[in-house]
Amino acid sequence: MNAPFPPERPPLRVMIAAPRGFCAGVDRAIEIVERAIARYGAPVYVRHEIVHNRFVVDNLKAKGAVFVEELDEVPDGVPVIFSAHGVPKAVPAAATARGLEWLDATCPLVSKVHRQAERQIEAGRHIVFVGHRGHPEVVGTFGQVPEGTITLVETVEDVAALDFPADVPLAYLTQTTLSVDDTAMIIAALLQRYPDVAAPKAEDICYATSNRQSAVKAIAPACELVLVIGAPNSSNSQRLVEVAERAGAKAHLIQRGADIDPAWLVGVETLGITAGASAPEELVREVVARLGELRTVVAEEVVTAQEHITFKLPRQLAG
């Protein structure tokens, strides 16, 4: 007697969030590295990962980029690029002192936060900065102002522990890649304790972070599982996982299609896909293809916003 055919797997509905993946700041940073290699020749050194994505970093390594963590690892006579996350003022100053040619790939929206920090200090205010301790963007922002003039808070509980006297002028700023909802709660707590705290002229959380979180909120309630394509050290990707889970879906952060565990798909009829701002569209296609090997996929894109923002290149590479 022949063995029975295995039961046919039901089609998998795949909802692909849009916007997703690369933002204008990431596009600019990658183009800076590629143009620098074309202009100066390999090797071109990059201090810190240009963006938080191993696939992107490995592709740039293959083209002639060398990634280091500190400036003293850069030999004399070669150009060095600073990552999209921004660096303390001391870093370009040290590069200039050594006579190094340097290019700043800091996202312009991060640079905007840097300039706001300087202005608040010039106005005599102490800055309360909402962010994640140790993140390169936080380190870079703290390095724009004198030590002791900025205090980090990560949670509502951190706000409750602040002990500034009532007569100390305060301002707040935030990291650009935070959870929109969490940050709103932290700022509300800060305003309740210090009603006169000065706010930034516009929200510091960047358009790409907000748009990607909104897109996940639009698809996650209909999904049993959401896959977020991004790196473990990518703040905005980690926040997308949290947004999906809060909307009631299970969520996994993956870097490649090979990371998908077939067991995750058991009982899943609708699956969502998004990608952090440092993850290329190529990886989205790879994940969809891997799902297609496991199930019959019926894919649809769910668009919640259009993005048409571009940023200028540094003057050394313009034209």
Return the CATH fold of 12-22+207-303. Answer: Cobalt-precorrin-4 Transmethylase; domain 1 (3.40.1010)
Q: How far apart are CA 208 and CA 201, in angstroms?
A: 18
Tell me if domain 12-22+207-303 and domain 24-107 are identical in fold.
no
pLDDT value for 203: 84
- Of the CA atoms within 13 Å of residue 141, those in its CB half-sphere come to 36
Sheet with 44-47: list strands edge to edge: 65-68, 44-47, 80-82, 102-104
**CATH architecture of the domain formed by 24-107:** 3-Layer(aba) Sandwich (3.40)
All structural domains of the chain with their residue ranges: 12-22+207-303, 24-107, 109-193
The yes or no reply on domain 109-193 and CATH 3.40.1010.20 is: yes
Rg value, the chain, Cα? 22
pLDDT tens, the chain, 319 aa long: 455 545 566 899 999 999 999 999 999 999 999 999 999 999 999 999 999 999 999 999 999 999 999 999 999 999 999 999 999 999 999 999 999 999 999 999 999 999 999 999 999 999 999 999 999 999 999 999 999 999 999 999 999 999 999 899 999 999 999 999 999 999 999 999 999 999 998 888 999 999 999 999 999 999 999 999 999 999 999 999 999 999 999 999 999 999 999 999 999 999 999 999 999 999 999 999 999 999 999 999 999 999 999 999 999 887 6
Catalytic residue among 31, 49, 137, 245: 137
**Cα 180 to chain center, whole Å?**
13
Is 137 among the residues known to form the active site? yes
Which residue do the tokens 């991004």 mark? 230
